[in-house]
């Protein structure tokens, strides 16, 4: 799921240059050649148990939405969240 949320936005874009086409092919080739990972049994059981967990689903959807934004929108949103956090922390320590 993480790979899809990180790269999915790029896979639906029109490829306008040879460089873009080559980059897409390189990306797909790299992803196709990722080594298989053996997941420990206890981690696999935990993941299956928590797969239906609503908070995990919501977090995935939030990440998918964030990664689908333009860089400028993503950056601006993060700046606002950091600013808000720092203001809240400043109030906490000033009291």
What tens digit of pLDDT does each residue of 45-89 get?
A: 887 777 666 777 788 788 888 777 777 887 888 888 888 888 888
pLDDT given for residue 95 in this prediction: 64
Integer Cα distance of 87 and 47 in angstroms: 36
| The pair of three-digit structure tokens given for residue 64, joined into one six-digit string | 């998918």
Quick one: average pLDDT of 15-32? Answer: 86
Query: What pTM was computed for the model?
Result: 0.35
Integer Cα distance of 15 and 17 in angstroms: 6
Integer Cα distance of 38 and 36 in angstroms: 7
In angstroms, how far apart are the furthest CA atoms of the chain? 59
pLDDT given for residue 56 in this prediction: 72
């Amino acid at each position: 799921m993480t790979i899809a949320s990180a790269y999915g936005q790029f896979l639906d874009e029109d490829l306008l240059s040879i460089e873009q086409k080559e980059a897409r092919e390189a990306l797909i080739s790299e992803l196709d050649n990722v080594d298989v990972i053996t997941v420990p049994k206890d981690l696999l059981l935990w993941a299956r148990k928590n797969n239906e967990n609503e908070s995990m689903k919501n977090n995935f959807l939030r990440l998918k939405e964030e990664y689908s934004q333009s860089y400028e929108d993503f950056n601006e949103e993060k700046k606002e969240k950091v600013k808000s956090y720092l203001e809240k922390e400043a109030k906490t320590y000033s009291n």
